[in-house]
Amino acid sequence: MTQADVYEITRQDTYPGAYPSGWYHVLDADALRPGDVRELRALGKHLVAFRGRESGVVSVLDAHCLHQGANLAGGDVQGDCIRCPFHNWSFAGDGCLRSIPGLDKVPRARLRSYPVREHYGMLWMYHDVTGEVAEPPYEPPALPDIDDGTLRPRGTYAPRDARMHICEFIENSVDFQHFAHLHSELTIPWTQIKIPGFGVHYEPGWELDPELEHVAYFLTYAYLVFRGRHYRKSGASVRVTLLGPGSTVWFRFTLPELGDIVMFQTHLPTAPLNQRVRFRWYADRRIPRPLVWYVVGHWISQWRADVEIWENKIMRPRPVLVSLDGPVHKMRRWVKQFYEPAPAA
Ligand code: FES
Ligand SMILES: [Fe+2]
């Protein structure tokens, strides 16, 4: 074991469980056409996803066959069933064993199959903290202004994986102090290159949804500062909806007179300290392309600055807090719900 491995294990030991309950963006919808099969190694599981040829419906099952444990990801799709590559047993999308070549009557047997939803070009799977199948207590996002075409798809971004724990994104949302230090300088969008003289000022806030217990919000108004002078009118309001344990979040940037940009940011833990991160954004058609590039790119620059910290930090269960910090304890009490098992399906 190398010194780097020891460091990562030491970091890992300071965090809560790596795979809290929530909706996880496991694949892009266009990565799975009818008849396609994909292997998924994430959330401490070994899974297989496939899209039925007839129904077009996507299913996610435990990857290893109930017979002799072959990996179904090496199989193929027949109708709406997946066929094992070893002895050609077929399983339906709900995991039920459907057919065995040369046998009329098949035993009653069922692979674990997980809830899946397809929306906004993404495939989400519900994972329960126990690792068992559970009834999802809520649904993935539904945004009327995307559904009705007011906001149109404008781009996606797939960075390298981040060597961080999933809880860091939510922890970051209540860390009000770091905006004045880590995020206060304006950079060229998408980069860490600072623009001399320019800065950004944030007015952060954090609140729980009054009705939906699995939803919290990070809110800020961000505007430009030039050589110490504050230009409040240059700003835009940002509302980040945190759905569950940070697995799925979305930003709503409201640009006065122009409309909104909505950007999804999703995290999929493929190991306790490794997140696959994906971005996908939509914008009002009135917002010109360079402005969308600037707004999204500004966030990506700030996110990169956070990642450098996240990839090297530990979690303090009892941090020393001062009045400049946000509601850390309130947030941690809220997150606890995603570590409690849901009723089995
Ligand atoms: S191992 Fe899958 S059919 Fe035998
Ligand atoms: Fe941050």
Which protein residues are within 6 Å of ligand 1, measured from CB?
65, 67-68, 70, 84, 86-87, 89
What's the pLDDT at 134? 83
> What value, to the nearest 5°, has the Cα angle with vertex 26 and ends 23 and 29?
110
For the domain covering 144-339, report its CATH number: 3.90.380.10
Q: Which residues surround ligand 2, an ion (CB under 5 A)?
A: 172, 306
Residues 6 or more apart in contact with residue 126 via CB below 8 angstroms: 21, 22, 23, 24, 114, 115, 116, 117, 134, 136
Residues 6 or more apart in contact with residue 97 via CB below 8 angstroms: 66, 89, 90, 91, 106, 107, 108, 109, 110, 111
Is there a contact between 123 and 50 (Cβ–Cβ < 8 Å)?
Answer: no
What's the pLDDT at 194? 92
What's the pLDDT at 344? 58
What's the pLDDT at 1? 84
Place domain 18-127 in its CATH homologous superfamily.
Answer: Rieske [2Fe-2S] iron-sulphur domain (2.102.10.10)
| DSSP tag of 295 | H
Report residues of the chain scoring pLDDT below 50: none
Residues 6 or more apart in contact with residue 167 via CB below 8 angstroms: 15, 16, 20, 245, 246, 315, 335
Cα 11 to middle of ligand 2, angstroms: 20
Distance CA 124, CA 115 (A): 8
Point out the ligand 1 atom lying closest to the alpha carbon of residue 70: 1
- The strand pairing partners of 42, in sequence order, are 45
What's the pLDDT at 295? 93
Q: Which helix H or strand E contains 331, and what residues bound it?
A: helix 328-335
Q: Where are the domains of the chain?
A: 18-127, 144-339
pTM for the model:
0.95
Is there a contact between 61 and 46 (Cβ–Cβ < 8 Å)?
Answer: no
- The strand pairing partners of 134, in sequence order, are 344
